[in-house]
Each structure stands twice: as structure tokens, then as C-alpha cells.
Amino acid sequence: MALSYPTQPGDIDHLIADDHAIVDRQFQHLEAGRGNRRVLVDQISFELAAHAFAEEVVLYPIWPEIGMTDEHDDAEHEHQQIKELLVVLGKTEPGEPEFEESLTTLIQVTRHHVDDEENDELPQFRAKAGAERMAELGKDFLTNKREAPTRPHPHAPSEGFAEKVAGMLGKPLDMVRDMASGRQKELATDASGLLNPQAQAIVDALSSFGPLPFEVLKPEQARKQPGPDDAVKKVMADRGISGPEPVGSVQDLKIPNGADGEQTLRVYTPSNAGDGPLPIVMWVHGGGWVLFDIDTYDASCRGLCNKTNAIVVSPDYRRAPEAVFPASHDDVLTAWTWVRENAGQLGGDPDRMAIGGESVGGTMAAATSLQLAANGQPTPVAQVCVYPLTTAEQFGESMEDAADGRPLNRALLSWMAMHAFQGKPEAATDPRIALLDWTPAQRASMPPTLVITDERDVLRSQGQQFARDLEAAGAPTTHRYFAGVMHEFFGAAAVLDEAEQAQQDAAAHLTRAFSTR
């Protein structure tokens, strides 16, 4: 569950609670007897080792200073128990009595520790240390998770500078052991057993690159990591599938952005263009306003171009933290206006323009429609929101049951928000982010909308609520839900049946709207 008091995404207590939610969901998989028990325990060990290290270096030395000595001693003792149990689990195998007994005890001790920390210790700490200190400690917490050993070290110093030195010495040895054992190539997969085989192959492919957790890296480091498109390309190569999907032409243009600079607009034209002007789809890429670019979402644009026989344009907007909210939104709106005013030179029809996107691209698609309607400008003839973020709050049951999802987990979602809203906490309540807070009139101003959600996705609940809200307000709304797949599945049509069907659904929604004009 979320903490019982308000926090910002980068606050140390918020980050700690995200870690707790991820590990507890993995515990639930183990208790239910589903998924890969060895991989789940290895992932839990990795997560708890980094989490304990960062807490012991950043948080625990402060507690006695502010009068929380008893809490400090209890937490330190429980961390020691957890580490010792993890060592046993690393040396034994599922099904062995010692493994199963240690796992049962680990779950009990960890849950007791989490209950004390979230309901007593963290609220006390915030009250005594001050809310303004939480964000700075959050940065320190992530820095130390980056430097943490990847395995538990129960005999290392318990906190502060000595712990940090021990971690720096231990991490290289741990990484060698992880590489030799193959553990490193399993840490980023979804081991829940809830994905279908095709989807599982994709997350396994991503994990096989051995990526570091996005959610502890600096943005410039995270952008060098493999993305969802790399995973799909690996599965395609493994299966002998050629790519990318051919279209008539692909051209990159330079157009103005919202800051008197330039942005790239990629234009996909279908092979069967014909003689008359074509409809246009603006497709906005995702990445939490921080990661990825138009290359990452190239497959989605190619698929929609062919399935709609429309021109697809993809704006490469500015990203945070270099350009925080509302820079990305401004660029998308600017790109929409430019395309509408210059549709003719693209071979397109300005009166048959639609918008859509994936993840925060779906957020920005809906936000653009809202801004156009509010300004009395022509709105898109249709929109498609694929697993959109519709609130900055930790909303709904999917924040719990998909907390451990891959490639997007709850900690990564907070990391993205932390960078996207840096220095602007008020952005979280802006109508361009807080879509669930819209008035009935704002919802009713939306064009015919298709909302696509999926099972293993922390954004599932809020996307489904957005669809219900639009429908209740009278906006023509269709919702399509896909079980057994994960966030970022839409562009994987070459290797995932659900992605192909989702693209077909999106294309049918768009072409129906185009045919009425």
C-alpha cells in the first residue's frame, strides 16, 4: 500500500515504500506457488541487499541523532536477520527444507519490518527531520543503491561510512559472481508466471542484456541501457524474423518546438498513398518524459502507418530533467499545430487528423486534445491512449498487484515522476497530468477515444478509470484490455499476438473516424 501520509516521488520514505511494495508482491507470487521460485528469490535478494545497504548508509545514522535510538536498534537487528536468511537462500535450492524454512521466516521478518517502518518509524522520522529534508535524502538513497553490493553481506559494518566502504569493496566481487552464475541476466525479467509465453520471451530477452535497474540510475546512464525495442529485436533475430516492417517512406524533418528551438518530426508515409491527401496520425512516444525517443517507438509507427494507410508523424520532444514539465507537452502541442498548418506539404488532410500515443505519450495525446478544445481549436477526429498515465497519484489496485512488473515497476514510475516534475510539484495537479481530475465538461470535450490497458502494468487501474470517466461524461469511448502482457507491449506486433491485435484495434478505431470526414 501507499504510505498513509502525502509524499513526493523522490522523497526517501516514498522510495522506501516503493521497494517494499515490489518485494511484497514477489513474496505473494512465492506464496501462491507461481512463477520461477529460484529467480524470484534471487531478485528479492538483489533488491533487499541494495535497499538495506542504502538505508544503513543514509537513514540509520540519522535516527539516533533525532532521538530514534530504539527504532534504530530494532531496524538494524531485523536487517541483520534478513541478510542472514538471504545468505541461506542463496546457498540452497527451492524444495530443500532449509530453503523453504528460511523463505517462510524471511517473509515473516520482512513484513514485520515493513509494518513497523511504514506505520511508525518513517512517519516519526519525517515529523522530526522535516519534510523538506526528504527529497535530499531520497537522492542520497538512490546514489547508494547504485553503489550497493548485489548480494547480502551480514558480516559487513552495519551503517555509515564503514558500510559504504565495505559495499564498494564487495560490489565488484558480487558482480563477478552474478555474471558467472547467470544471475545478472535474470534480474530484470518478470518471474511472476503471469505473462503469456510470447510476452515472457520479450522480458526475458530484455533481461538477458543484464541491464542495471533504471530506477537507481542517473537519466544519462539510464538512456544508455537497452530498451523495449531492443528486446523485441532480439526475439525477432532469434526467430529469424526480418525487420523493420517496411513502409512507403520515412523522413525526418526539423520543425519549431515550444522553446524557440527545433525538434525532429519523423514522417511515415504508406506505400499505397494514392492520389488524394491522406489522413494523418500523430503518434507520441512514451518513456516517462525522461527515457526513450522516436527510434524506440519506430515499430508502432510503422505498424499503424500500414494498418491505417495514413501518414504517421512522431514528434521527438524535449525530455526531463533537462527540460521539465511542461516542456514535453508544449512540444507536442507545437508539433500538432505545425502539422495541421503544413499538412498539404506532407500529402495529408488537415481535416482528418488523429492523435495517440503510448504510456505518457497517451497522456500527452489526451492533454493535447484538451488544450485544443479549451482554446476553441479543431480537435483530433479520434484519439488512442495506450496504457496512459492519467494521475500522478499511486492509484488503484494495479499499484500493488503489478508493483513488480517489468519493464515498468512502481519504483521506476516514481523515478520518472521525480525527474519530470523536478522543482515543480504543482505539475502533478495540472490538468495535463491529472486527467482523472477533469470536470465532466472537460471529459465530454474528448474526441472518440480508444483506451488500451494490460494486466502486468502499474498504470492499468488509472487507465481503466480514465475510460470509465470519459464514457460516463458522454465521450464516445472504447476500452480494450489485454491479459498476460506487460507495459510497452504495443510495439511488439512482430513477435506478440496481443500487440498485433492491439494495433489492429487502434487502426480500426482511427479509420472509422477518418471515414466519417
Rounded to whole angstroms, how far apart are CA atoms 347 and 312? 11
In order of 30, 55, 317, the CA distances from 255 in angstroms are 52, 47, 11
Rounded to whole angstroms, how far apart are CA atoms 188 and 42? 11
Considering the candidates 20, 113, 285, 487, report the single residue annotated as catalytic: 487
For every residue of 109-135, which 3-state class applies, written as one string? HHHHHHHHHHHHHHHHHHHHHCHHHHH
H helical segments located in 240-394? 298-308, 327-341, 343-346, 360-374
Rounded to whole angstroms, how far apart are CA atoms 414 and 25? 17
In order of 226, 233, 472, the CA distances from 202 in angstroms are 12, 9, 36
Among 330, 328, 327, 290, which Cα is nearest to 418's?
290
> Is 102 marked active-site?
no
CB atoms within 10 A of CB 130: 10
DSSP 8-state assignment for residue 57: I
> Is 457 marked active-site?
yes
At 168, list the grid cell. Answer: 564498494
Considering the candidates 457, 461, 469, 509, report the single residue annotated as catalytic: 457
Rounded to whole angstroms, how far apart are CA atoms 357 and 383? 9
Considering the candidates 158, 207, 359, 461, report the single residue annotated as catalytic: 359
Are the CB atoms for 446 and 38 separated by under 8 Å? no
List all residues 6 or more positions away from 120 whose beta carbon is below 8 Å from its beta carbon.
71
State which H helix or E strand residue 206 sits in.
helix 197-208
- Please report where in the chains the cell 497530468 appears, as a residue: 433
Are the CB atoms for 439 and 472 separated by under 8 Å? no
Rounded to whole angstroms, how far apart are CA atoms 49 and 39? 15
List all residues 6 or more positions away from 469 whose beta carbon is below 8 Å from its beta carbon.
436, 438, 443
Sign of the CA dihedral 387, 392, 398, 399? Answer: positive
H helical segments located in 225-326? 228-239, 298-308
Enumerate the active-site residues. 359, 457, 487
